[in-house]
């Protein structure tokens, strides 16, 4: 078990190095005019471009730049935002909490839809549950999230006026109030994951229910609920967990869209602002943090494996 | 003449199996309709998709010969949707082709040669997998500048890893099978073994993966268009049409309803077809799930 964990943790190192290099290359190998685009029209001249290049360290050879970039990065220094003249790390720190709230609540929403629906569909094949699960799954996967978001805003926010559609209340407001603001964004962000996981839960549960151990459990008089949740579900759960981890990346990517639509001040909106103003250090910082979050989630999922699946523990 | 056994020789039987998937057929019909509209767009529409007519802005559906009404600039919505179908379908197909070609080549090399080639390719796959790709794409578009050409190659480049993984897995299971060994002992070169003997066996899963990959590519390019980093105005792209419409959400919600519905329907039809195709080409899997 220790060996597995150590190996798994070590394999993240080349990945993290690769990520840092790509993020670095985004800016370093960018075509020259991307620098002049960072300056306002009045201040674009050869002198100012050279000055900004020197400030960002872009006038040195790329390998020197990369070493210095990495050197700063391990100390937690991601440079300063050109647009706001503030440390990038500080700005990300302020916003990341909101993105966490959004993604965690979206995961919660999608698991709450996917697992019961998928299990029910597998248990009652060709019933109304099965068909509605398939339909919901297909719609969830095929619906562009920005479209769903706007439809929800239009009907539940504007026409019916049931739920807030913009922003987030302050950190000190009540939990329930915060949840109210998160309902529409989380349904929007979680819908695609819910679709994928519903299908997967259904498929893996059907497979598990067809195995010998399920028949044995039935033969020894286990109730149908017991067969479903004690015997079949634990076996179906591992692929669900894997897919959940892999889908987390698209959830983070989707956060950019959802935060823009619902004006949620999170990491995604920060990234969009950075991109709009071509604030290169801020672009680098946000892309890096998104990728590292995803790597961390994948790592956590793999570590959870060890505790859930004893077969890995004794390998 | 001796009949050659190709990947198409089982086609009639496969068509029969495919025809049993009702949703697959529905998808095929819906998609064909979109393709017809895309190809014959210039002949089908009554109005030019770019011509503005501010006097006739927000005309309701059906009036003045505007089948689906007009947008904030008085441009005909149906014309714009029809021309938008060209863009979305083109992007979907080009992106997936690019990703499949790059991924297949790297996967073949990685699986066949193993060693450091495999190590490098697989680490690269892991690095690409660990980016929430939409964010990477947005960052690249911001730096390179948005254009339809950039959308296609950047999306293609971020989608190759899944094909590489798939093909590599196939190659690994084939590498030591007798007929490959036989080809080796008869003196076939690496290139011949890879492309003549191994690749044909990996085509089926690639086709399935690609069919299921097109809707993803269409969704991503629409999302880019919506965020303003994809195909630029005034080109009628569905995602950017929704983006334009969102400022008029209360005044005229048709402006977002129609283009969004088009994206949804095209993606849904591809998903229907992809599922049916997977069940057709991989009967083991479908038997398990039936």
DSSP 8-state symbol, B2: P
User: Is the CB of residue B222 less than 8 Å away from at least one CB of chain A?
Assistant: yes
Distance from CA of B184 to the nearest CA of A (A): 34
DSSP 8-state symbol, B4: P
- Domains annotated for chain A, with CATH where assigned, are 2-74 (no CATH), 95-308 (1.10.3720.10)
Q: Which band of pLDDT confidence, cut at 50, 70 and 90, is reported for residue A10? A: confident
Q: Which residue has the higher pLDDT, A49 or A193?
A: A193
Measured between beta carbons, which residues in chain A are less than 8 angstroms from residue B264? 142-144, 147
Q: Which residue has the higher pLDDT, A157 or A45?
A: A157
Q: What is the pLDDT of residue B288?
A: 46
Q: Which residue has the higher pLDDT, A58 or B209?
A: B209
Q: How far apart are the C-alpha atoms of A102 and A96, rounded to whole Å? A: 10
| Backbone phi and psi for residue B187, each to the nearest 5 degrees, phi listed first | 90, 20
- Among residues A114, A231, A261, the alpha carbon closest in space to that of B239 is found at A261
Paired residues of B70 in beta bridges: B76
Parts of chain B with a pLDDT under 70: 1-10, 282-290
pLDDT tens digit string along B210-268? 888 899 999 999 999 898 888 887 888 898 888 888 888 877 888 888 999 999 999 99
Distance from CA of A240 to the nearest CA of B (A): 16
Distance from CA of B67 to the nearest CA of A (A): 22
Q: What is the pLDDT of residue B289?
A: 46
Q: How far apart are the C-alpha atoms of A110 and A312, rounded to whole Å? A: 27
pLDDT tens digit string along A174-196? 778 788 888 899 999 999 999 99
DSSP 8-state symbol, A232: I
> Nearest Cβ partner of B142 from A141, A153, A283?
A283
**Cβ contact A275–B289 (<8 Å):** no
Q: Which residue has the higher pLDDT, B60 or A244?
A: A244
Paired residues of B269 in beta bridges: none
- Among residues B251, B246, B208, B206, the alpha carbon closest in space to that of B225 is found at B246
Per-residue pLDDT, averaged over A6-21, amounts to 87
pLDDT above 80 (res A28): no
Measured between beta carbons, which residues in chain B are less than 8 angstroms from residue A272? 138, 227
Question: Tokens at residue A176, please?
Answer: 């329930």
**Cβ contact A250–B134 (<8 Å):** yes
| For A291, nearest residue in chain B (alpha carbons) | B131
User: Is the CB of residue B248 less than 8 Å away from at least one CB of chain A?
Assistant: no
> Nearest Cβ partner of A19 from B131, B142, B264?
B131
Q: What is the pLDDT of residue B4?
A: 56
Q: What is the pLDDT of residue B1?
A: 47
Mutant choice from A88, A133, A143, A150 vs B, greatest count of B C-beta within 10 A = A150
**Cβ contact A141–B271 (<8 Å):** yes
Q: What is the pLDDT of residue B284?
A: 58
| For A154, nearest residue in chain B (alpha carbons) | B249
| For B253, nearest residue in chain A (alpha carbons) | A154
Q: What is the pLDDT of residue A80?
A: 82
pLDDT tens digit string along A104-157? 999 999 999 999 999 989 888 888 888 888 888 999 999 999 999 999 988 888
Q: What is the pLDDT of residue B101?
A: 94
Measured between beta carbons, which residues in chain A are less than 8 angstroms from residue B256? 147, 150, 154
Distance from CA of B5 to the nearest CA of A (A): 34
Q: How far apart are the C-alpha atoms of B150 and A284, rounded to whole Å? A: 20
Measured between beta carbons, which residues in chain A are less than 8 angstroms from residue B272? 138
**Cα dihedral B164, B170, B172, B176 sign:** negative
Mutant choice from A23, A142, A200 vs B, greatest count of B C-beta within 10 A = A142
DSSP 8-state symbol, A40: -
Contact (Cβ atoms closer than 8 angstroms) between residue B57 and residue B74: yes
Q: How far apart are the C-alpha atoms of A26 and A23, rounded to whole Å? A: 5
Q: How far apart are the C-alpha atoms of B211 and B206, rounded to whole Å? A: 9
User: Is the CB of residue B285 less than 8 Å away from at least one CB of chain A?
Assistant: no
pLDDT above 80 (res A25): yes
Paired residues of A80 in beta bridges: A87
Q: Which 3 state secondary structure label does DSSP give B130?
A: coil
Distance of CA A40 to the CA centre of its chain: 34
pLDDT above 80 (res A16): yes
Per-residue pLDDT, averaged over A37-46, amounts to 64
Contact (Cβ atoms closer than 8 angstroms) between residue B111 and residue B168: yes
Q: Which residue has the higher pLDDT, A205 or A168?
A: A205
Measured between beta carbons, which residues in chain B are less than 8 angstroms from residue A278? 142-143
pLDDT tens digit string along A258-270? 999 998 899 999 9
C-alpha distances in Å from residue A252, one per residue of A20, A186, A190, B190, B224: 18, 12, 11, 42, 15
């Amino acid at each position: 078990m220790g060996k597995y964990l150590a190996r798994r943790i070590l394999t993240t190192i080349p990945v993290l190095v690769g990520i840092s290099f790509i993020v670095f290359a985004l800016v370093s190998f960018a075509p020259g005019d991307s620098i002049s685009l960072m300056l306002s029209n009045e201040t674009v001249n050869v002198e100012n471009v050279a000055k900004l290049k020197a400030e960002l360290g872009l006038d040195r050879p790329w390998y020197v730049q990369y070493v210095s970039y990495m050197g700063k990065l391990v100390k937690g220094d991601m440079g300063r935002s050109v647009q706001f003249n503030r440390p990038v790390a500080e700005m990300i720190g302020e916003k990341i909490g909101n993105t966490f709230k959004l993604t965690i609540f979206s995961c919660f929403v999608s698991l709450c839809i996917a697992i019961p629906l998928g299990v029910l569909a597998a248990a009652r094949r060709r019933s109304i549950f099965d068909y509605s699960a398939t339909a919901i799954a297909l719609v969830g996967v095929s619906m562009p999230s920005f479209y769903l978001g706007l439809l929800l805003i239009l009907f539940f926010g504007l026409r019916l006026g049931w739920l807030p559609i913009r922003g987030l209340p302050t950190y000190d407001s009540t939990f329930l109030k915060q949840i109210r603001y998160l309902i529409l964004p989380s349904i929007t962000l979680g819908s695609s994951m819910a679709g994928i996981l519903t299908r997967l839960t259904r498929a893996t549960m059907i497979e598990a229910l067809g195995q010998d151990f399920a028949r044995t459990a039935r033969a020894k008089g286990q109730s149908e609920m017991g067969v479903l949740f004690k015997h079949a579900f634990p076996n179906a759960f591992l692929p669900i967990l894997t897919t959940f981890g892999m889908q987390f990346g698209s959830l983070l990517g989707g956060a950019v869209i959802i935060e823009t639509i619902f004006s949620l001040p999170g990491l995604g909106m920060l990234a969009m602002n950075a991109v709009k103003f071509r604030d290169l250090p801020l672009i680098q910082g946000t892309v890096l943090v998104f990728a590292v979050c995803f790597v961390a989630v994948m790592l956590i999922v793999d570590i959870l494996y060890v505790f859930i699946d004893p077969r890995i523990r004794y390998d | 003449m001796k009949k050659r056994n190709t990947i198409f020789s089982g086609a009639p039987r496969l068509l029969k199996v495919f025809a049993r998937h009702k949703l697959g057929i529905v998808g095929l019909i819906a998609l064909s309709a979109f393709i017809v509209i895309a190809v014959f767009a210039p002949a089908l529409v009554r109005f030019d998709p770019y011509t503005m007519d501010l006097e006739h802005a927000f005309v309701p559906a059906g009036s003045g010969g505007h089948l689906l009404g007009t947008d904030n600039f008085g441009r005909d919505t149906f014309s714009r949707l029809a021309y938008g179908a060209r863009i979305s379908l083109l992007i979907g197909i080009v992106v997936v082709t690019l990703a499949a070609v790059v991924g297949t080549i790297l996967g073949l090399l990685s699986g066949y040669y193993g060693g450091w080639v495999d190590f490098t390719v697989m680490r690269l796959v892991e690095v690409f997998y660990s980016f929430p790709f939409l964010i990477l794409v947005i960052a690249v578009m911001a730096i390179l500048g948005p254009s339809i050409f950039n959308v296609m190659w950047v999306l293609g480049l971020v989608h190759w890893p899944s094909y590489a993984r798939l093909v590599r897995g196939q190659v690994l299971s084939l590498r030591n099978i007798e007929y490959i060994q036989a080809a080796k002992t008869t003196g076939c070169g690496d290139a011949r073994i890879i492309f003549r003997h191994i690749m044909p066996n990996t085509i089926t899963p690639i086709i399935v993966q690609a069919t299921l990959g097109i809707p993803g590519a269409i969704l991503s390019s629409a999302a880019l268009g919506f965020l303003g980093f994809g195909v630029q105005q005034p080109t009628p792209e569905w995602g950017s049409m929704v983006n334009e419409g969102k400022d008029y959400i209360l005044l005229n919600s048709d402006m977002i309803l129609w283009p969004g519905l088009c994206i949804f329907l095209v993606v849904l039809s591809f998903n229907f077809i992809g599922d049916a195709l997977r069940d057709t080409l991989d009967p083991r899997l479908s038997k398990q799930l039936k």
